[in-house]
Amino acid sequence: MRNNHPITMLCEIFEVSTSGFYDWDRRRSKPGPRAVEDLALTQRITFLHAESRQTYGSPRIVGELRAQGSRHGRNRVARLMKSCGLYGRQRRRHRVHTTDSNHDHPIAPNRLAEAPATTAPDQIWVADITYVDTAEGWLYLAAVMDLHSRRIVGWAMSSAIDSALVLSALSMAVLHRRPPTGLIFHSDRGVQYAASNFRAALQAAGLIPSMSRRGNCYDNAAMESFWSTLKLELVYRRIFATRKQARADLFDFIEVFYNRNRHHTALGGLSPALFETKKP
């Protein structure tokens, strides 16, 4: 309206003073302190979200801000994230069967259930296998995690889900960590972990085998949690054209992001690598 009619005429019609209108217009065009603070906070939120590889939702962003000395309510952070189209990891449900426990190999007892809580790294390792979909077919990933620090200490990838896959992950862990004799190695009852060549490798390294109860994923909850993180923060956010592309992204996620940079709630907000350097 003001573009088509003189301001003085409009003020006369609406019975307001010209000076009063200009004062209101000046105050309206100048953002208030809250708006200025929201703008600065939005910039920080955007940076933290990008640094997390677009995976952190409002709870983790609030945690990051508090770690930096800033206290902002979760509702406010969630509102600003929504206004910018920033979201955390998104769930997707799809499952491939990776555990074949119908075999005649020996089954180790569940030593994890009776073991005391860890006090340092390399006391208990847990292991499992998962899958990644690519346009070329499935890529299987075997990983070994240190239960104390949640660090992935060994991993291997293959288009075949066999004992060679888990042997490669174990070999990497043993080579880089040099574990002490008596370390508990916990896995599911899958044929890959029960095979004679894998049991021989555990014995040669001085590791004690332990296996979950049949069909009970809670016996290996730490690995299940890691797979969930991997899927929600990487796999479900990508479309892999080739296994080679998936391998490169998985390597980057595990070694560059997860082990060294991703903040872990179970570790007091530290990354696994940083947690291992923390003095008791």
d(CA 156, CA 158): 7
The more confident residue out of 43 and 176 is 176
Cβ atoms 191, 181 nearer than 8 A: no
Q: Per-residue pLDDT for 217 more than 60?
A: no
Q: Max CA-CA distance within the chain?
A: 95
What's at 43, amino acid-wise? Q
Task: Dump pLDDT digits (tens) for 7-36.
Answer: 566 556 556 566 665 665 665 555 667 766
pLDDT at 126: 97
d(CA 79, CA 206): 53
Task: Dump pLDDT digits (tens) for 36-58.
Answer: 676 777 777 777 777 776 677 77
- pTM more than 0.75: no
The more confident residue out of 60 and 223 is 223
- Taking residues 119-131, report their average pLDDT: 95
The more confident residue out of 88 and 271 is 271
Cβ atoms 53, 238 nearer than 8 A: no
What's at 112, amino acid-wise? L
